[in-house]
Structure 1
């Protein structure tokens, strides 16, 4: 079965084995974050649309479930911003009719200013919004949003959502060296967090190749300080599992995963080992000569992602 919308399960350090659903085209987003692991956004939009027919996504999900592969959570994550999918609310409801596994939505939070979007997300079991800035200036510097998006509106929407939402609200802050990780920035984040009713806050730093090469990870000391001050959990300190794909051909399976989730050399090796793939070196040669793929050396590790 050719998978267009379903991928994984992929290992999530926050959620376990995550079966992904991507309801939007690749790199379709209202942000162009400087740290994005998919590279720069090339389809900037603020318009919500039914990019793919809802029935096609659900039918593929049903077909996938016939094989009964093991996963912990269904994550609507997309290859950009999933809240741009205009039938997100219906997608969540339909998925929940088919599986008893929790349904999560990972979002940049930009559209939480919309009551319609907030209402649709109420049906999810877990919502994971990100907060990268603490004011208009830092948000623009890191997220590079559409001009119609303003930090103040997003934050007010997130606060409002947190008061009404009954599921798990897991926040994530992406900390970037020399931008939002100094003591003054952490103090600002601390004040913001006081206004939000959330379950956990995860602290991250760009561990995969970012969209812009000037983006740098923060130091261990800076992360430790942020964890202590914000009562957060460092994602770096969480363990990760293995990737999985039901696609039989190992090369095609890797391509299907890295469309949405870049993989480094160790993750690919582990993935190939789990399949008892004996010709792994051929696959690496093929990856490095494939014109559709970027091989990026980052922090001494090769990471592969689709161009």
Structure 2
């Protein structure tokens, strides 16, 4: 099968199961440059919505994918940047729903939820997973380093408003970073804001893969446990369940397609290659090739070596 430009995975996700990714945004185009982002620092900071790629091209590639493989639990619109920047997001969601009976999820940083058009487009999704880890303009800027004059209160109000009219599943995502939003006082402030949001689930997480900034400290287990109890949330464990999958036949290109959007540690990489029936020698050669590839970053973090595209 030919290589895919917009479709990747499926990726194992503790929240969503086996998630087939759809990426309508070019690499690192975002309205945030989050300190904890697993794909690195944002290269193209923007808050302007555009049709970065032709909608028809994305849909045609999705049709091509599902013509040979329907082994996934959910379709996730996410990828390499902020998906709400895609100006035809609503049409994309509707088009995907016509082609599959699997739920359509959108993972968003919440920044554009003040935009009424974005709200209306997201109403078509089955699941929306917005970030909700800030409680003030100061924490908003410290965590997300947003574009221009993006405002904490504006984005928060947009999330509250959207939650009141969304009929699907709203799963809040709280990323806790030590010394920024992890104190008891911080979490109590966060709880007060979350009270105003209609949500189905709340996931508590911390940086488990190398963050954009090396000085970022993951929250402690004690902090995570306290947040789970205080917010009645669900903790996401460090490692993904299951194995990564790709329809791309070339083993090395398949790896690049995944780590472009979702970094993998050495154990996930080995499991992925063993699942493709490679010998130990072939796997060793691929690791050597990754090490020598100047476009690959290899970062040691929390006892793992993680591979991501520069």
Q: TM-score, normalised by structure 1?
A: 0.99
Tell me the equivalent position of 1:112: 113
Residue 150, structure 1, aligned to residue 151, structure 2 = yes
Residue 123, structure 1, aligned to residue 89, structure 2 = no
Counterparts of residues 91-240 of structure 1 (less than 5 Å): 91-236=92-237, 240=241
Tell me the equivalent position of 1:287: 290
Tell me the equivalent position of 2:305: 302
Per the alignment, in what secondary structure is the counterpart of residue 171 of structure 2?
A: strand
| Structure 2 unaligned spans of 5+ | none
Tell me the equivalent position of 1:85: 86
How far is the alpha carbon of 1:132 from its aligned partner?
2.2
**Counterparts of 1:48 and 1:124 in 2: how far apart (Å)?**
19
RMSD, aligned α-carbons:
0.9
Aligned residues: 307
How far is the alpha carbon of 1:178 from its aligned partner?
1.0
Residue 269, structure 1, aligned to residue 288, structure 2 = no
How far is the alpha carbon of 1:106 from its aligned partner?
0.2
Contact preservation (8 Å) 2:32, 2:146: yes
**Counterparts of 2:79 and 2:285 in 1: how far apart (Å)?**
30
Contact preservation (8 Å) 1:76, 1:103: yes
**Counterparts of 1:266 and 1:119 in 2: how far apart (Å)?**
41
Contact preservation (8 Å) 1:128, 1:170: yes
Structure 1 pair 41–52 and aligned structure 2 pair: CA distance change class (3 A)? same
Could you give the per-residue CA deviations for residues 57-100 of structure 1, whole angstroms, max 9, x where no partner exists?
00000001111240000000020100000000000000000000
Structure 1 pair 42–154 and aligned structure 2 pair: CA distance change class (3 A)? same
4+ residue segments displaced more than 2 Å: none
Per the alignment, in what secondary structure is the counterpart of residue 236 of structure 1?
A: coil
Tell me the equivalent position of 2:23: 22
**Counterparts of 2:237 and 2:96 in 1: how far apart (Å)?**
30
Tell me the equivalent position of 1:71: 72
How far is the alpha carbon of 1:147 from its aligned partner?
1.8
**Counterparts of 1:77 and 1:140 in 2: how far apart (Å)?**
22
